[in-house]
């Protein structure tokens, strides 16, 4: 029996046109911790790319807002690298405090809010579309953060998983 078959009870709740909104983020959280990391990465890539679940920047900033400083530093480093390093930030009109290399430390990350991350992620996606997969791979290592995506994205994701 594969993981999706084991999670059938949860996924079956999302087969109707009126899925349970009050449980969606909790159900996605449970599924995220049970599926293989590669499958979660693929699901997050689809969420990040779908116009039905918000922009890439919105999704990343929501997860960033729930991340601990180490996780925040990790995704910021990934975004800064994808955009072309700290020098490219000023060319895009973005200013991140005291960031002089592509490696962001947790103390620096704590000074950067979700709105700035949203803008940075959207710029990074335009400049380097591969960042979507990189961010999904990063967050697939932290399945506890999927709840931050909210009810709409959770329902969308669970319905797609059910169909797969």
d(CA 89, CA 84): 8
Tokens of 87: 């020098």
Can you say whether the dihedral through the CA atoms of 158, 160, 163, 164 is positive or negative? Answer: negative
Instruction: Please classify residue 163 by burial: count the beta carbons closer than 10 Å to its beta carbon, then call 0-12 exposed, 13-18 middle and 19+ buried.
Output: exposed
C-alpha distances (whole Å) from 22 to each of 8, 13, 43, 47, 146 are: 18, 12, 21, 20, 15
Q: What is the dihedral of CA 108, 76, 72, 149, to 10 degrees?
A: 140
pLDDT in tens, the chain (164 residues): 566 566 777 888 888 888 889 989 999 998 999 889 999 999 999 999 999 999 999 999 999 999 999 999 999 999 999 998 888 877 877 777 777 776 889 999 999 999 999 999 999 999 999 999 999 999 999 999 998 999 999 999 998 887 77
pTM for the model: 0.89
């Amino acid at each position: 029996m594969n993981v999706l078959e084991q999670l059938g009870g949860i996924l079956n709740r999302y087969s109707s046109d009126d899925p349970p909104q009050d449980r969606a983020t909790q159900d996605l959280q449970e599924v995220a911790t049970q599926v293989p990391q590669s499958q979660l990465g693929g699901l997050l890539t689809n969420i990040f790319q779908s116009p039905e679940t918000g922009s890439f920047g919105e999704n990343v900033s929501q997860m960033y807002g729930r991340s601990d400083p180490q996780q925040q530093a990790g995704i910021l480093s990934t975004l800064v690298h994808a955009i072309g390093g700290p020098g490219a930030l000023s060319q895009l009109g973005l200013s991140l405090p005291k960031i002089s290399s592509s490696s962001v430390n947790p103390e620096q990350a704590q000074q950067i809010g979700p709105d700035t991350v949203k803008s940075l992620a959207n710029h990074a996606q335009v400049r380097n579309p591969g960042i979507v997969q990189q961010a999904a791979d990063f967050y697939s290592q932290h399945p506890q953060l999927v709840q931050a995506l909210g009810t709409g994205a959770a329902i969308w994701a669970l319905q797609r998983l059910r169909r797969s």
